[in-house]
Amino acid sequence: MLKQRLQQKLVQKLSPQQIQMIKLLEIPTMQLEQRIKKELEENPLLEESEGNEGEVNADEEEQTEDKDPDRDEFTLEDYLDMDESDIPSYRLSSQNYSPDDKREDIPFSVGVTFHEFLQDQLGLRVLDERKQFLAQFIIGNIDEDGYLRRKLDAIADDIAFNQNIKTDEFELLEILRVIQDFDPAGVGARDLQECLLLQIDRKDLEIPGIKLARQILKQHFDEFTRKHFEKIITRMGLEDEEFKDAMDEILHLNPKPGSSFSDPLNKETQHIVPDFILEFKDGDLQLGLNSKNVPELRLSRSYRELIENQSGNKPKSIQQKELVTFVKQKLDSARWFIDAIKQRQNTLMRTMEAIIHFQREYFIEGDEGKLRPMILKDIAERTQLDISTISRVANSKYIQTHFGIFPLKYFFSEGLQTDTGEEVSSREIKKILQETLESENKRQPITDEELADILQHKGYHIARRTVAKYREQLGIPVARLRKEMN
């Protein structure tokens, strides 16, 4: 029997501006530079500040009218003097360039980048204009390893906000399946299991070893990743030789299909650009943002004045009204973007300053033993920011210190207590585990239970399951897999 009922739900939805702010906060310095360049291309009311010129933002007036002579300029009078038929359609879109315009933002390359390789394959598929566009957007979200690590519904939100095109995860999944058929095999996977299955599915599944390999990846992936091979053999009723053939097939698959793409001129993933620079001078720590290649932004004074001059004049036609509205929208967008960049920088500095204050001894001496246990909540409380915000700042960000460059995630670790009540970092425990296992007898490797006992004798009361977790985080297999016969 069907019943109808009313139900109230409290749902918190982010505004498009909040979504954009979150994305700006997540990206590292290198990507921020690219993001700003993209905004400069798309918004004629936004330009770079030069030298010590006065900057115009939402609250300030510009002091000079200097312009970059290389920018593609147009004025409000140009619009108002045009007949409707004279106005190119691209001027009324959010992408302010014609398909015939020459784009100068692509560096010279004699080779083909990974993403260009995917775009070339897309051009060979018979898809309508909408699907072609959506496929290009998905490809743009595939990382250098070949994975699509963003959720399809999040990508749908981006498309709706940035391009004003409504789609959903079901339509995007259909298009993703097309991309997953591209080379290299495994591209466009959303996790490791899907990546390996995409590759194995291209092989001859009539061959027993390949068929078993697929079955292992499909039905026993958790056991496979944990290297519980005996469980797999028992549950599938396999002979040792059958299991070996299947494993040989799996081990020949590529867990990072994008990294196998040879592009000697595209080495961005091998270079780290620190987001923060920390110097130790005269006994004091001095923190700064690395904004060397990030341009300062301002509003274009000439466009601003044109809008102000037109504000008292009634548009002569509907077309003129639409044009004025369009330029005003660009002005609001430019103001918001400048403020969003400033808010991003402020949030980054607040977070990093709190981390440095919390780990002051470590940043002065560079001694790993000085790292205090610290979790996201500790920094969130000190900055009065949300834990999710701290997590976004810590992700993919690096700091340059006088003793090396480190990811921000390196400074976060759990806390444990010794039998004397002293609080220590889980990193210190991992260091002890690493040193202990490096010196073990490989013919009789130390079990997790024995490791827990060793730590107990050293004054660290840690459960066996916690020891196993730390061992796995160090990338060290279980004792039975470390055993050497000779």
Q: Which of 333, 338, 393, 382 is nearest to 360 (CA)?
A: 382
Structurally, the chain folds into a number of domains equal to 3
Q: What is the mean predicted confidence (pLDDT) over 291-303?
A: 76
Distances (CA, A) of 410 to 104, 349, 351, 394, 423: 38, 17, 14, 9, 18
Strands 276-281 and 404-407, by their bridges, are unpaired
pLDDT for 269 equals: 41
Does some domain include residue 221? yes
Rounded to the nearest 5 percent, the helix, strand and coil shares of the chain are 50, 10, 40
Instruction: Decide if pLDDT at 477 tops 60.
Output: yes
Confidence of residue 85 (pLDDT cuts 50, 70, 90): very low
Per residue in 412-443, pLDDT (tens digit) is 876 665 655 555 667 778 888 888 888 888 88
Do residues 420 and 467 share a domain? yes
Read off the CATH number of the domain in which 436 is found.
1.10.10.60
pLDDT for 300 equals: 75
Q: What is the mean predicted confidence (pLDDT) over 310-326?
A: 68
Token pair belonging to 252: 């020949």
Does some domain include residue 165? yes
pLDDT for 173 equals: 94
Confidence of residue 265 (pLDDT cuts 50, 70, 90): very low
Instruction: Note if the pTM is more than 0.85.
Output: no
Confidence of residue 240 (pLDDT cuts 50, 70, 90): confident
Confidence of residue 74 (pLDDT cuts 50, 70, 90): very low
Does some domain include residue 332? no
Quote the CA–CA distance of 345 and 270 in Å, as a whole number.
25
% of the chain residues with pLDDT over 70: 74
Do residues 207 and 251 share a domain? yes
pLDDT for 110 equals: 36
Lowest mean pLDDT among 88-102, 242-256, 472-486: 88-102
Instruction: Decide if pLDDT at 481 tops 80.
Output: no
% of the chain residues with pLDDT over 90: 19
Quote the CA–CA distance of 338 and 464 in Å, as a whole number.
52
Does some domain include residue 382? no
pLDDT for 29 equals: 82
Instruction: Decide if pLDDT at 81 tops 90.
Output: no
Do residues 158 and 125 share a domain? yes
pLDDT for 444 equals: 86
Quote the CA–CA distance of 96 and 43 in Å, as a whole number.
7
Do residues 166 and 208 share a domain? no
Mean pLDDT of the chain: 77
Confidence of residue 50 (pLDDT cuts 50, 70, 90): low
Q: What is the mean predicted confidence (pLDDT) over 191-200?
A: 93
Given 210, 226, 260, the domain boundary residue is 260
pLDDT for 68 equals: 41
Does some domain include residue 321? no
Quote the CA–CA distance of 202 and 185 in Å, as a whole number.
8
Given 148, 179, 210, the domain boundary residue is 179
Rama region for 366: left / alpha / beta (φ>0; ψ in -120 to 50; rest): left
Confidence of residue 262 (pLDDT cuts 50, 70, 90): very low
Per residue in 346-367, pLDDT (tens digit) is 999 999 999 999 999 989 988 7
Do residues 152 and 204 share a domain? no
Given 224, 243, 260, the domain boundary residue is 260
Do residues 162 and 208 share a domain? no
Instruction: Decide if pLDDT at 79 tops 60.
Output: no
Does some domain include residue 30? no
List of long-range contacts for 35-41, beta carbons under 8 Å, 24+ apart: 36/294, 36/295, 36/297, 36/341, 37/105, 39/337, 40/295, 40/297, 41/96, 41/97, 41/105
Range of the domain at 251: 200-260
Confidence of residue 59 (pLDDT cuts 50, 70, 90): very low
Does some domain include residue 138? yes
Comparison of pLDDT for 19 and 430, the residue scoring more = 430
pLDDT for 315 equals: 60
Lowest mean pLDDT among 41-50, 203-212, 355-364: 41-50
Per residue in 107-122, pLDDT (tens digit) is 333 346 788 888 888 8
Does some domain include residue 243? yes
Quote the CA–CA distance of 473 and 420 in Å, as a whole number.
26
Q: Is the peptide bond before 184 cis (omega within 30 degrees of 0)?
A: yes
Q: What is the mean predicted confidence (pLDDT) over 57-66?
A: 42
Per residue in 142-189, pLDDT (tens digit) is 988 899 988 999 899 888 887 788 999 899 999 999 999 998 889 999
pLDDT for 112 equals: 60
Q: What is the mean predicted confidence (pLDDT) over 26-49?
A: 82
pLDDT for 99 equals: 37
Quote the CA–CA distance of 24 and 31 in Å, as a whole number.
9
Instruction: Decide if pLDDT at 57 tops 70.
Output: no
CB 192 within 8 A of CB 145: no
Q: What is the distance, to the nearest Å, from the Cα of residue 453 to the centroid of all Cα atoms in its chain? A: 40
pLDDT for 163 equals: 79
Do residues 125 and 162 share a domain? yes
